[in-house]
Amino acid sequence: MSKKSTELIVNGVKKYGPTVGKLALKHNKEIIGALGSINLKKRFNKSDDPDQSPKKAKAKNMHPRKQRYQYYLTEVTPTLDTRNRDELLEYKLEVEQCIRQTKMEQAQDIVIKKQIHEGRIKEWEAILTHIVSQMTIKDYMEYLRLFNNREYQSEYFTGFEADVEKFKKLNTVEQYDALVQYVHEKTMIDIEQIKREFSAPV
């Protein structure tokens, strides 16, 4: 469509739109009667169906990634503290994938849409920050429990038994420095704080 024809349409809507709108409101029964004769009334009745809530209709038309974002915002984020490491890692990987996809779309789209994608990326990054933060805290607390009680069975680390075994092998007087380094690498918590809370075995 050329620029000239687009301008004509826009000018026509500006000029005649209010008049047409007033006329339609004034003669709505006649218009609906005419539409009924060509079988369009059914469509309007379906859209006015009280069983179909606007939220359901909106969710049906929502982009899958936007639906997923809403799920993370309302269902996942509030319950992060009850999740095990396997679930948290799965959430982290999915959110990172959503961020990558949005960045790829941003690189391919026009300038106007880039700002929209930038906002979406920030929203996903905020969720990712929550997930990573919760993983760090829970990992650290589980390592601390394992350090203080060699018989402790961690349900949080289900599926990551190799990490637990490695930690238990390092939990000796001779391997204390390696243990501190291991906890630091896994959680990125300051080494001095780790040394204070994981007091060296006597």
- Note whether 102 and 117 are within 8 A (CB): yes
What span, in angstroms and rounded, lies between the C-alpha atoms of 155 and 44?
A: 54
Greatest mean pLDDT range, 7-11, 18-22, 62-66, 188-192: 188-192
Average pLDDT, the chain: 83
What span, in angstroms and rounded, lies between the C-alpha atoms of 27 and 22?
A: 9
- Find how far residue 154's CA is from the centre of its chain: 28
- Give the CA distances from residue 128 to residues 24, 52, 74, 100, 101, in Å, rounded to whole numbers and listed in that order: 50, 34, 14, 12, 14
The angle, 0 to 180 degrees and rounded to 10, between the axes of the packed helices 161-170 and 111-148 is 50
- Find how far residue 17's CA is from the centre of its chain: 40
Average of per-residue pLDDT across 146-165:
93
- pTM, two decimal places: 0.68
Per-residue pLDDT, 115: 82
